[in-house]
Chains A and B, each alone.
Chain A
Amino acid sequence: MDFRISEERQMLSDMLRRFWGNDPMLEARNAAVYEAPYQVPGVWAQLAELGVFGAFLSEDEGGFGGTAEDVVVVFEEAGRALSAEPLLGQLLVMRLLAGLGRADLLEEMVAGATRGALAFAEPALSVDLSRTAATAARRGDGWVLNGRKSAIYGGPGADVLLVTARTDAGLGLFLLRDAPLIEAAMVDGGGIAELVMEDLAAECLAEDAAPPVEAALDLGRIALCSEAVGAMDMLTAMTVDYLKQRRQFGRPLASFQALQHRVVDMVMEGEQARSIVIRAMASYGTPDQARHVAMAKNLLGRVAPHVAEEAIQLHGGIGMTWEYPGSHYAKRLVLLDHQLGDRRDHALRLMRMCAPDAGAVSRPVTARTPESQTA
């Protein structure tokens, strides 16, 4: 048992914390990320220089990391800084291209010169890839895609778009450049896109890529959970500071037990969140991966919005303002749960794995009504 991280990763973590760790950066962030191009000018190139994208690949793949631990380190710091840079899309695409041996595309991505995004979700598909409705068909020497893709994180400005669509062989993976994206801001900052495909010509990367897409998405979930841990840490610390400073009834808010105990619960959930991320990270690539990742995303989907809501409440009116940095952290912590499957999607994944006849066939669970899942 050893919970220390390696020296190299500690260096990467320290470097990122120094890079991101100042207030003007957050001001610049809030000024930039709620409208196109949804990024802080110059930051992407600097992240590349710091080696962030190299951390997503192993040495064989042209990087210096490539493990879940590297991903956790990068995203925790991104979470602390509330970065809205499109790191998630880049990570997902780099892992998929690495799996396919596309070194030609990866070199540019490590350098940050090429940006990627993954289009797998659909209006009626959250985590169950077997429900993919978009289709791919051969047309002449190539392929054309039809259907609608949703929630493409980092879509705006992406140079390379990977798209999943049904083929005769299974879940195909396709590459698009200059895709006709419908672009928008995320409510918590950053760019997101939708894609309507009507006989859209695309390059086929693999006719069945379901297992690697699933693996990449699980890594993306670990990344999001780690981002949430970083953001929760910061927001809880901001709340503690605020309660110490703010005085009412002639004394600091920090002296009121009703408020103290709520902050203690935020800290406790933060510890639980960190623990489950460590668990999922250590299980990545093992037979326990799906179970522990689902646990992590489910747990974070419960505690991160709780911390966000408590932080807003404990700050009072200030927590409701756009000007206060904490409100942006709160938005991130709530909307993280909507990405790559929410707490209920992942509870259902866990339920399937724990069902008495699990193991025989992975039986689709039919939930009765949405309300029935919230008990």
Chain B
Amino acid sequence: MDLDFTAEEQAFRKHVREVIRGELPREISDKVLQGRGLTKEDIECWQAILNRHGWLATTWPAEFGGPGWSVVERHIFNEECALASAPRIVTFGLVMLGPVLIKFGTKEQQDHYLPRILDGRDWWCQGYSEPGAGSDLAGLKTRAVRDGDTYVINGQKTWTTLGQHANWIFCLVRTATEGKPQDGISFVLVDVNSPGVEMRPIKLIDGSKEVNEVFFTDVRVPVTNLVGEENKGWTIAKYLLTHERTNIAGVGHSTKDLEKFRKLAAEIERDGEKVADNPLYAMRAAELEADLEAMRVTNLRLLADASSGAAEGHRSSLLKIKGTQIRQELQNLYRSALGSAAALDADDLSENELAVPVEAARAAPVYFNHRKLSIYGGSNEIQRNIVAKELFRE
């Protein structure tokens, strides 16, 4: 047995680390480190840098502009991005739609959309959830009715992340009402600037505006914007749920967050003692570190299986549950460590006015924001259902 990365993989890590640290603007990584909101320009700037290196669409085959990395190399790259406090890439075009077009799209769709995702001309968002269809996505009601060469779309989508920046949205829409709910769904691409599309921000628990509701009123979309076959959209949705989930644990993020906690705990004092020396905090951190180390190996085991072509099966669901539990618990610990200082809304204070290190000032809002982790991407309860289905199969 051998848990080490190969010499080539280690050299790869060194290379991407140097490039990331060399190219990532300090002002952007500071925002990420401090949990402050990123502007559209910040994200576009970072994605343009990655695109220049050919490192933006890491899951695409090389012929479509991917870097041709192995799953292990992708894992290393993601880990290094997190450790460097790089912005998360916006996944909707790059991780979701791109692979869907590559697998299900026509040649025309691939030729038209893929380059525009890479160079940033198009910013994609996702129209999946609806007010009445969250975990039970197949219950979605947004209708697309065929009228000659166009679909006419009416309905409402919600939880559309960063939709305020987007010019395109891919949607699951109902094109048939007979039979099983899953059998009447289609996957359609919609220009956000079409007449009848309205995007409204939803303010979240932490005060941020990263998600939106999208309203569709008689929106006309050419039928050529259908991806795959009509009424086969559920197959595409399921494909996305099982595609490339080896990065789901967020090991890099947790490693970074634990490092942040250790740094903070060694700096701040409470009642005459460093937080790091308080056994109550030290013990929680020690046990979380053990959990994280175990998850790191669980993730590597999954990568090793994926490298040899074995199916991920339910283990990526287990990784999602455990990974998000650890990330949330780290946020919890970090917020707690600040004591009374965590309650202060630091947004309008300068670095000099703050009583705590600047990267800790937004600990409480960031903690609240991280509650989303166990809800999105298939809630942790849905993940448990997926595993249970396999465990209790007769």
Contacts and interface: CB of A to CB of B under 8 A. Distances in A.
Interface of A: 1-5, 69, 240, 243-244, 254-255, 257, 260-261, 263-265, 267-268, 271-273, 275-276, 278-279, 281-282, 292, 294-296, 298-299, 302, 343-344, 347-348, 350-351, 354-356, 365, 367-368, 372-373, 375
Contacts of A294: 290
Nearest to B3: A282
A295 B6 contact: no
A264 B391 contact: yes
A261 B282 contact: no
B287 interface: yes
Interface string B135-173: 000000000000000000000000000000000000000
Contacts of B388: 257, 260-261, 263-264
Contact of B392 (A244, A276, A278, A299): A244
Given A264-B387, A350-B289, A355-B277, A299 B381 contact: no
Given A272-B298, A295-B290, A355-B282, 15 more contacts: A1-B5, A2-B304, A261-B381, A263-B388, A264-B321, A268-B321, A268-B387, A276-B294, A282-B2, A295-B293, A299-B287, A351-B286, A355-B276, A356-B276, A365-B279
B297 A279 contact: yes
A350 B2 contact: no
Q: Which of A272, A298, A355 is most buried by chain B, counting CB atoms within 10 A of its CB?
A: A272
B256 interface: no
The 10 closest A-B pairs by CB, nearest first: A275-B297, A260-B388, A295-B290, A350-B286, A276-B294, A272-B294, A351-B282, A275-B298, A264-B384, A356-B266
B297 A354 contact: no
Contacts of B270: none
A220 B291 CA distance: 21
A1 to B, nearest CB: 5
A1 B3 CA distance: 5
A255 B293 CA distance: 34
Contact of B277 (A271, A298, A356): A356
B285 interface: yes
A38 to B, nearest CB: 32
Contacts of B394: 244
B242 interface: no
Contacts of B4: 1
12 contacts: A69-B1, A244-B394, A261-B384, A272-B322, A276-B290, A278-B1, A281-B1, A347-B287, A354-B282, A354-B285, A356-B274, A372-B279
B277 to A, nearest CB: 7
Contacts of A244: 392, 394
B57 interface: no
Contacts of B298: 271-272, 275
A279 B294 contact: yes
Nearest to B380: A261
Interface string B1-30: 111111001000000000000000000000
Interface string B272-303: 00101101101111110111011111101101
Nearest to A9: B1
Contacts of B318: 264, 267-268, 271
Given A240-B392, A271-B315, A282-B1, A1 B300 contact: yes
B302 to A, nearest CB: 10
Contacts of A272: 291, 294-295, 298, 322
A5 B295 contact: no
B305 to A, nearest CB: 8
A356 B275 CA distance: 10
Interface in B294-333: 294-298, 300-301, 303-304, 307, 315, 318, 321-322
B280 to A, nearest CB: 5
